[in-house]
Amino acid sequence: MSDYHARHIIEALRSGIPSRAVGEYFSEARPGMMKKISAHLEDLRERGKSSGMLFTGRYGEGKTHLLNTALSMAFSSNMVVSLVSLGKETPLDKTYLLYQKLIANTYLPGSAQPGFRQKLEDLTQGSSVSSELLGYAAKELETDKLYFLLKAFLGTSDEEERLAFLSDLEGDFTTSSIIKKSFKRVTGNTAKFNRNFSKTKHCMDYFYFMSHLFRQLGYEGWVLLFDEAELIGRLGKKTRLKSYVNMQAFLQPDAKLERVFSLFAMSASYAEDVIDKRNEIASAEEGFAEDPDSRKAAISVLNTILNAPELAPLTRAEIAKVLMSIQVLHGEAYSWSPKLSEESMMEVTEAGGYLLRSKIRAAIECLDQLYQYGEAGKIRVTELGEESLEEVPELSLDKL
């Protein structure tokens, strides 16, 4: 690992900001949970089976880190990844806004920045991929809007129209009049939609189309990562119920969602604070009394949350392993050789509390002091980075 890459990971850990690089480096944590996720990704890669999963965890116990590790695993399997945090700007009850946010945060394998517009711009009229996509859009979706849009996009040379169509595919939906006008000029025929497209009713067509598009472009699948799903609990009752119904479409996807794996991270307190205290199951039965499909979907999701696997607190041995890895990484980042014992690393992080992220930051602060001053608290190191048994005045980590 280069000094720059190691320093990037250390700075991310120091700030407490989730990082893809951190998720890749510490990919061995939570072996039980990672085995479950790996099985879903294998089903996606080997059998093309779409699926979904939800897990819970306490605050600061590594939910976001686990999502970033899943992202790295998906990339290594040549899968497209979308990563979003649910909330007011990314509401699960409105699929058209959810789609827009997901597409804006979609990464092709190995890409540092989101986006795949260039792949769309490279589509050419008459190519095998374009012809296949046109056939799919015409026959397999609830509406045929995307067929007319794609046909117009492939045929027009007007830059404003092409931009409008690209933006539409990214969730900034254009008007049907622009599509019809362009289609008429390109083909000489009139575009007659089988039904008027409504973003509130037919947005799943876009999810279906994108999952098919990524497959046609040669990727093994599309992984959707949803962080902070517990924020659903801050919504009103009707909005929460609608969110549960929409969540079911990703946890138990139908056949039209091709090679898609959805992973939701949620606070472990959601079951008690929301489902139990607000009697969500009874609310779903009452709210969807005349809509049995929605009622079944919402209750299924609530039961999934109640029975979701939870991130268990790390054992002392697991924490020690992480801290010793931090020591190695700090040495690579700043070109020195700290050689603290496992006992010392555990001791200096005791004041950091029970949260793993706090222990990591305490360990980094200690290593920073040792690197700069040769001593931290009761620890002193020699020029070789080894611990000295000589007593030194205590230096509080809080004074950094």
The rounded radius of gyration (Å) of the Cα atoms in the chain is 25
Looking at 259, 280, 306, the residue that finishes a domain is 306
Asked whether residue 324 is domain-assigned, the answer is: yes
Q: Are residues 300 and 244 in the same domain?
A: yes
Residues in the chain, how many? 400
Query: What's the CATH number where 301 sits?
Result: 3.40.50
Checking if the pLDDT of 261 tops 70, the result is yes
Please report the pLDDT score of residue 397 as a whole number: 42
For residues 58 and 137, state if they share a domain.
no
* Structural domain containing residue 132: 118-202
Tens of pLDDT, residues 130-173: 999 999 999 999 999 999 999 999 999 999 999 999 999 999 99
Neighbour-count burial of 245, counting CB atoms closer than 10 A to its CB (0-12 exposed, 13-18 middle, 19+ buried)? buried
Q: Are residues 302 and 241 in the same domain?
A: yes
Among the three residues 202, 236, 260, which one is the final residue of a domain in this structure?
Answer: 202
Residues 77 and 198 in one domain: no
Summarize pLDDT for 269-295 with one digit per residue, the tens.
999 999 999 999 999 999 999 999 999
Q: Mind listing the pLDDT tens digit for each residue in 76-122?
A: 999 999 999 999 889 999 999 999 999 999 999 989 899 999 999 99
Q: What is the pLDDT of residues 296-340, one digit of tens each?
A: 999 999 999 999 999 887 788 888 888 898 899 999 989 998 888
Same domain, 159 and 237: no
The pLDDT value given to residue 388: 59
CA distance 176 to 11: 48
* 3-class DSSP assignment, residue 264: strand
pLDDT digits (tens, 9 = 90+) for 210-257: 999 999 999 999 999 999 999 999 999 999 999 999 999 999 999 999
Whether residue 384 sits in one domain with residue 321: yes
98 shares its domain with 124? no
Instruction: Tell me, yes or no, whether 25 lies in a domain.
Output: no
Q: What's the domain count of the chain?
A: 3
Tell the burial category of 272 from Cβ atoms under 10 Å away from its Cβ (0-12, 13-18, 19+): exposed
On whether both 231 and 269 belong to a single domain, the answer is yes
Tell me, yes or no, whether 288 and 143 share the same domain. no
Of 157, 173, 202, the domain-final residue: 202
Looking at every residue in the chain, the average pLDDT score rounds to 89
Could you tell me if 321 and 362 lie in one domain?
yes
CB-based contacts of 185-188 (< 8 A; 24+ apart in sequence): 185/156, 186/151, 186/152, 186/155, 186/156, 187/151, 187/155
The DSSP secondary-structure symbol of 257 reads S
pLDDT band of 393, cuts 50, 70, 90: very low
The per-residue pLDDT for range 22-68, each reduced to its tens digit, is 655 555 567 788 899 999 999 999 999 999 999 999 887 789 889 99
Model confidence at 180: pLDDT above 90: yes
Whether 311 is covered by a domain: the verdict is: no
User: Is residue 123 located within the same domain as residue 181?
Assistant: yes
Q: Is the Cβ–Cβ distance between 327 and 385 less than 8 Å?
A: no
**Count of Cβ atoms closer than 10 Å to residue 125 Cβ:** 13
Residue 11 domain flag: no
Alpha helices (H) along the chain: 3-15, 20-25, 31-42, 63-76, 95-104, 117-121, 128-139, 145-155, 159-169, 176-187, 199-202, 204-216, 237-251, 270, 280-287, 292-306, 316-334, 342-348, 356-373
Q: How many CB atoms lie within 10 A of CB 252?
A: 16
Do residues 225 and 299 share a domain?
yes
